[in-house]
Structure 1
Amino acid sequence: MTTVVTDNCLKCRFTECVTSCPVSAFRAGPEMLYIDSETCIDCGACVPKCPVQAIYEDLDLPEDMLQWIDINASEAKLWPKITAKDVPLEGALDRKQSLGF
């Protein structure tokens, strides 16, 4: 089991979630975060930290988002680990508002 970042993170990359991860499972892609399924212990600590509700435990993932399990698994292998809060991407606040948060 793992926790998964979905497309609400796209073009936001808020990083409040990474500071709650006890095993440093987050990876920073150029447009969003990903969770390394081999590192994640499925504690769920990051889920309530996301300001755009982009993170789900895989068992709670809506059916139309199941592809994000594989996307996280493959993309996490490509990007560096992120363990500290960073500034969101340019335009992230506008994206957050457009998502209704």
Structure 2
Amino acid sequence: MEFNNLDSGKILKTIRKHAGLTQEELAQKLFVEQSTISKIENGKSTLYAHFLFECAKVTGTQELVAEMLFGKEVAEKVKELMTTSNLPTQVTDN
């Protein structure tokens, strides 16, 4: 699947807003600068897959990301796998 920087920026912003986070709060969870989040959201930097999946993990939005990228059917499979496995659905600060 291919999408441009503006598309990926919209995806990141949707994830962040869904999680109720500011750019600064998301940046802190990902150990990056707020400007990195801003640049991606504004289409000035590339959102790489590993960063996208880490964002989904730390915000608990794996289902949302799966649906945005692959459609509802895949998102439902992700939800099923998450509820039947011992995988963490969200990273917490300890």
TM-score (norm 2): 0.33
Which has more radius of gyration? 2
TM-score (norm 1): 0.32
Identify the structure with the greater strand proportion.
1
Identify the structure with the greater helix proportion.
2
